[in-house]
Structure 1
Amino acid sequence: MSIVVVEGEKLKLSNLSKKMWPDENITKAEFINYYVKIAPFLLPYLKDRPVVFTRYPDGIKGKAFYQKNIPDYAPEWLKTYDEVSFNNGEKKIIRYALLNDLKSLLWAANQASLEIHPWLSRIGTIDYPDFAVFDLDPMENTGFEDARQLALVLKKIFDMEGIKGFPKTSGATGIQIFVPVEPRYTYNEVRNFVEFFCRVLEKTFPEKSTTERNVKNREGKVYLDYLQNVKGKTLIAPYSPRPLPGAPVSAPVTWEELEKGVLPDAFNIRNMPERLKKVGDLFQGVLKEKQKIDKWIVKIF
């Protein structure tokens, strides 16, 4: 165990020699150091957003679990957000972590939180997401290339409509496109906006894409998952690693890179810090360029 002081707080870092990605010889220490390097780029996308973790205490080949509630042993200084709900009159509270600073991020990393999934809204406007997400998810017998082609078609549609979207790889086989919006639309309105364009894409390329909810009927197509735009649902954060061979990360890319045929496994925790030094944060428009979407919300088929 190693004790470090981060932003005035003591952090106990444990099992630093444990292999998180055994085949790549990536230890927990290297994984935590990755978060140190990318924190200035990642933290703006986590600030004031409840997060969900996928934890791999024994590395990617061990058992994993999905965690919403922070554990009882979480430090007192960790900022949290309580989501209160009622089921048959019974009150339920989920206490989410807020990763607003480096010490909180490194605390999560020490929990072997290989994946970080933030909400689409911030605690100040929790019922109003500030971006709409298009999740292009290849199903069986399809792959990243199919998602790439559909993403580029969606880009052309956006250009015609005057909409700005920012693409990133999922870190697996998919592509996610974030459309920043003013945080004054409900989740239902944002979801309807995304559904409208997904159905346009589905009608245009029915042989390649689908909004079919039954998994059995999606084979051979890319699933256009507009249902990610629901309060409490999450997508992988930009720059977050994935528990896959090669230690890939969810990487923001330019539309030009997508056009040239960028590969999903091109970015990993070993080369992403250097890429950030060269190109900077390609995703920052998601936080800065808020858009109005009123005119498309009412166009659902």
Structure 2
Amino acid sequence: MSETTVDVGGEPFRISSPDKVMFPEQGWTKLDVVEHFLMCVDGALRGVRDRPVLLKRWNRGVGHDPLFVKRPKGAPRLVDVTFPSARPGQMFVPVDESDVIWMAQQNCLDLNPWNARARDLQHPDELRIDLDPTDEFDFEAAREVAHTVKAVLDDAGLVGWPKTSGNRGIHIYVRLVPEWDFYEVRRAGLALSREVERRHELATTAWWKEERSGVFLDYNQNAWDKTIASAYSIRHTGLVSTP
């Protein structure tokens, strides 16, 4: 089948190559991916709405490297951005359900938004903590450290919203008033991470991989132009990042 249509908000939406196999081991197709996002489209949209999104296109399925696209052609809408290199560009900004399905049509499995919104690209409205276990540790270790992250946030009067990464880790989002720039938010992420490291023996902020053992708190995910797979993204593992 060369193409089919699906219903998105009462309107037909064309899907090309619906039989393309995206996950060879499981046999899941592009249409399976689209149907996943249709089932959770409200939640998926909340994670990306009004944010510049890096398109990670798995054009040949998860058995091959994805294509990273920051300047997509033919996107429904674009916003002007400046990258850390000082080069100008344009990125896709989803605003409605059809935009989520458009990304699935582009062979995107995981959706990767900025932590700032299009209306104010200089001031993030989320602080993100990425708990990433090193090879000798697993999800349970990340869960242990996540409890300490919560304790530190509680002491600061902040609320963290956790989700699984879809791999072995946990992502924790803290909503912010957009008053601080990327450098200030990154420094806040580093300060939080170091306090967690002080309180929990498995937590580490060691930058060099060779020096890490335990659960790495990747505070650098708050840097300008960094992205994390948002809620309900499908990871290359076949697992879903789930709140």
Question: Does 1:215 find its partner at 2:232?
Answer: no
- Name structure 1 gaps, 5 residues minimum: 253-301
The one-letter amino acid paired with 1:224 is L
Measured in 2, the distance between the counterparts of 1:62 and 1:121 equals: 30
Partner of residue 15, structure 2: 13
How far residue 92 of structure 1 moved from its aligned partner, in angstroms, is 3.2
Sequence identity (%): 31
Conserved 8 A contact 1:137-1:174: yes
Partner of residue 221, structure 2: 228
Partner of residue 38, structure 1: 40
Measured in 1, the distance between the counterparts of 2:8 and 2:216 equals: 42
Partner of residue 291, structure 1: none
Cα offsets for 1:224-267 (capped at 9, x unmatched): 111111121111111111011xx211111xxxxxxxxxxxxxxx
How far residue 6 of structure 1 moved from its aligned partner, in angstroms, is 5.1
Partner of residue 178, structure 2: 183
Partner of residue 277, structure 1: none
Measured in 2, the distance between the counterparts of 1:52 and 1:68 equals: 5
Larger Rg: 1
How far residue 127 of structure 1 moved from its aligned partner, in angstroms, is 0.9
One of 143, 146, 150 as aligned partner of 1:151? 146
Which one is further off, 207-216 or 177-186? 207-216
How far residue 3 of structure 1 moved from its aligned partner, in angstroms, is 5.3
* Higher share in helix: 1
TM-score after normalising by structure 2: 0.91
TM-score after normalising by structure 1: 0.74
Measured in 1, the distance between the counterparts of 2:185 and 2:229 equals: 19
| C-alpha RMSD over aligned residues | 2.1
Measured in 1, the distance between the counterparts of 2:182 and 2:84 equals: 20
The one-letter amino acid paired with 1:192 is R
Measured in 1, the distance between the counterparts of 2:87 and 2:189 equals: 30
One of 66, 79, 82 as aligned partner of 1:81? 79
Conserved 8 A contact 1:119-1:232: yes
Partner of residue 66, structure 1: 68
Question: Does 1:237 find its partner at 2:230?
Answer: yes
Spell out structure 1 runs of 4+ moving beyond 3 A: 3-12, 84-87
One of 81, 98, 116 as aligned partner of 1:103? 98
The one-letter amino acid paired with 2:3 is S
Conserved 8 A contact 2:129-2:218: yes
Question: Does 1:200 find its partner at 2:195?
Answer: yes
Conserved 8 A contact 1:53-1:114: no
Cα offsets for 1:277-296 (capped at 9, x unmatched): xxxxxxxxxxxxxxxxxxxx
